[in-house]
Each structure stands twice: as structure tokens, then as C-alpha cells.
A = this chain, B = another copy of it.
Amino acid sequence: MTAAATGMLVPGCSPPSRTGAATRTARGYASGKDDYLRRLRKIEGQVRGLQKMIEADTWCPDVVTQVASATRALQEVAVGLLNDHLRHCVRDAARGSDSGADAALAEVAGAIRQVVRL
């Protein structure tokens, strides 16, 4: 049974306009929050490492390889967030009102476009 069905708030499924004290803990990536933080800290380290490579005049193709690696890691985060969002927020919105589902699906469409188009 989903949160929508029970009337509970789904973590991460409260859009900004509905965000208040009661929904501050809302997120679709709840279970994976620590994992996302761990991955983002690693990416932050990669970006700092890129600065060291530039400062050390590292051979360009080697820098490019590391930039591509960090880019892929960020894309993985984006796809992970999209899928968590679909599995929680959009899913629950789909079980709610038609207008709420329409709005949630239009929003996720925009997010997919951003990730794909780069």
C-alpha cells in the first residue's frame, strides 16, 4: 500500500509549492539518501582532483578522461533521482486526482528532457 493510499506523506513527493513544516522530510529518494550523499561526495572529490590535474599541467587527454568519468557519475545520479521520483512521487500522484497526475507527469517530462538533452 502506498502513502497516497494511506493518506501519509510520501517522502520526497512534496513539490516546492506545497512544502511546509509538515512536509519538510518529504522525498522520493528517502531510502537512498545516504547513497546519493556518498556518490555526490565522491564526485566532489573528483572535481577537486580535476583542479589538481589542471594545476599540475596534466596531459590533456588524461584530464578529459577524468572529466568524462565525473560526468557519467553525475548522469547516473540524475537517472537514479528520476527513477526514484517516478517510483514514489509520480506513482502516488497517478493514484490521486487526474489534475495532480497530469501536473506530476508534465514535470517529470521536463526533467527527463533536461537529462537527455544536456
> A residues engaging B (CB < 8 A)?
1-2, 11-12, 14-16, 19, 24-30, 33, 36-37, 40-41, 43-44, 47-48, 50-51, 54-65, 67-68, 70-72, 74-75, 77-79, 81-87, 89-91, 94-95, 98, 101, 105, 107-118
Contact = CB atoms under 8 A, between A and B. Distances in A.
A64 B115 contact: yes
Contact of A57 (B27, B51, B75): B27
Q: Is the interface of A mostly helix, strand, loop or mixed?
A: helix
A92 to B, nearest CB: 8
14 contacts: A11-B57, A16-B62, A28-B60, A36-B54, A37-B51, A37-B54, A43-B47, A60-B82, A60-B89, A63-B81, A67-B115, A68-B114, A72-B118, A87-B105
Nearest to A88: B60
Contact of A94 (B30, B60, B95): B95
